[in-house]
Structure 1
Amino acid sequence: MLKDKKAIIFDMDGVLVESEDIWKQAEYEIFSSLGVRVTEHDSKRTQSMTTEEVAQFWYQKFPWKGTTLKEAEEMVVQRVMELISMKDCATLEIRPFIKKLKSQDYKIGLATNSPEKIIPTVLKKTRTTDLFDMVSSADFEMKGKPHPAIYLNTAKKLKVMPEECAVIEDSETGMEAAKKAGMTVIAYTKGNKDISLQWADYKIDRF
């Protein structure tokens, strides 16, 4: 699986932390308070979007007054950070797993569609701050995943070629981005048999 690889790049949400329900809760609380009628159907559509895209999505459906899109986005981010700090959401065995890779001289990267300011909260929760050589957020990309830019730029920061990277992803959107970047894709399935593996080269169920 890791033959000829020099770097392992991790997605963050759903891989380092089990945060899908946290994002749902934060978005429901904030956008409902702004007068948005948040539905389960529409929430599923926003799962793979950046926070900025999510705010735009809800605003187009239910335009609100008195709060800018940027302020709404910031409110969601702050709530997510609070919930991550409060909840027992760190993925089981993730620190020992990354620590072992690090001891085998792999470079360790992080590439997330989430805002940059959330990353330190997640690394603190998972006790992995000292294990990452480079972290990247889609905040600084023209487009988030499934566009491959964030993975290509993370490889560049790690000073490795894309084909020397293996990526661990739990979402189809993220797997597509990594595959388009020319990297080996490892799907983290958590035992979910419904997850699409069309972009995956390998799969693991747990760490």
Structure 2
Amino acid sequence: MRKAVIFDVDGVIVFSEKAYQKRRAHFFEKIGLPVSKKMQEQFVGSNAQDMFEYLVPNDEKKREKLLQAYKAFRGQYSLDYKEMFNSDVSPTLEKLANKNVRMAVASSGPLENIYQILEANRIKEYFELITSGEMFARSKPNPEIYQYTTEQLHLLPSDCLVVEDSKIGIEAARRANLPVAALKSHQFNIDQSQATYQIESTSQLLDLI
């Protein structure tokens, strides 16, 4: 039996990626930076720093200026995380807790944003550890976020199960030698072929632990 389940947030706990894509599109339009919809889909699961490193690879000063401008823009752009909430999550967390399965979060998103999502949907108390990709030099697909999480839980990778949706999130977990359950995305056509398991609902996690 698995001892812990580690959850990604965006695309798993909340279906937020379309809203994030719309927010980014508004910002790119505002600053006059041409970014196609197809290119935007490459950013699913990544954080703002990695996004601007991709968009502005050879000008560190400009990249940092754009990153700070985007963070300020993002802070003024209100999102309803209750509306985006995956309704399967609460009963799944309750059942996992009843089985004494430990739970953690490992998300590429900003820590402040992660807390907003968990608190808005009243599920923060289920998670003993909350980890953000901004805590590391490199976020997903770098495996460090998952290596750190398992180390902090004092568990072996084989004792844990990761729940992801994005290609880069799945890659990060697999590179950390963790089994991954990929939650099918209904917003994007995501390559989830590297996942250990494919699931349609978080309720199926109960069958995998």
Determine which of 115, 137, 160 is the counterpart of 1:165: 160
Aligned mates of 2:73, 2:46 — CA distance in 1: 13
Instruction: State the 1:76 CA deviation.
Output: 4.6
Question: In 2 relative to 1, CA 95–64 (structure 1 residues): closer, same or farther, beyond 3 Å?
Answer: same
Instruction: Report the CA distance between 1:21 and its aligned residue.
Output: 0.8
Distance between the aligned counterparts of 2:15 and 2:141, measured in 1? Answer: 20
Contact 1:108 1:132 survives alignment (8 Å) = yes
Asked if structure 2 preserves the Cα contact closer than 8 Å seen for 1:15 and 1:91, the reply is: yes
Aligned alpha-carbon RMSD (Å): 2.6
Deviation at 1:77, TM superposition (A): 3.5
Structure 2: gaps of 5 or more residues: 203-209
Q: CA deviation at 1:193?
A: 10
1:181 corresponds in structure 2 to 176
SS in structure 2 at match of 1:54: helix
**CA 190–58 in structure 1, closer or farther in 2 if over 3 Å, else same:** closer
CA drift at 1:109: 0.6
- Aligned 8 A contact 2:165 2:192 in 1: no
Structure 1 regions of 5+ residues with no counterpart? none
Q: How many Å apart are 1:191 and its aligned residue?
A: 6.6
Contact 2:47–2:133 (CA<8 Å) still a contact in 1? yes
| Matched ranges for 1:1-80 at <5 A | 3=1, 5-59=2-56, 68-79=65-76
CA distance in structure 1 between the aligned counterparts of 2:28 and 2:58, rounded to whole angstroms: 11
Amino acid corresponding to residue 154 of structure 2 in structure 1: K
Task: State which of 80, 85, 92 in structure 2 corresponds to 1:84.
Answer: 80
The percent identity for this pair of structures is 26
> Alignment partner for residue 96 of structure 1, among 91, 113, 116?
91
Q: Size of the alignment, in residue pairs?
A: 201
What TM-score do you get using the length of structure 2 for normalisation? Answer: 0.85
Q: Is 1:198 matched with 2:174?
A: no
Q: Distance in 1 between matches of 2:67 and 2:41?
A: 22
SS of 2:113 mapped into structure 1? helix
* Residues 143, 173 of structure 2: 8 Å contact kept: yes
* Contact 1:187/1:202 (8 A) holds in 2: yes
Q: Aligned in 2, Cα 1:153/1:76: closer, same or farther, shift over 3 Å?
A: farther
Identify if the C-alpha distance between structure 1 residues 193 and 60 changes in structure 2 by more than 3 Å, giving closer, same or farther: closer
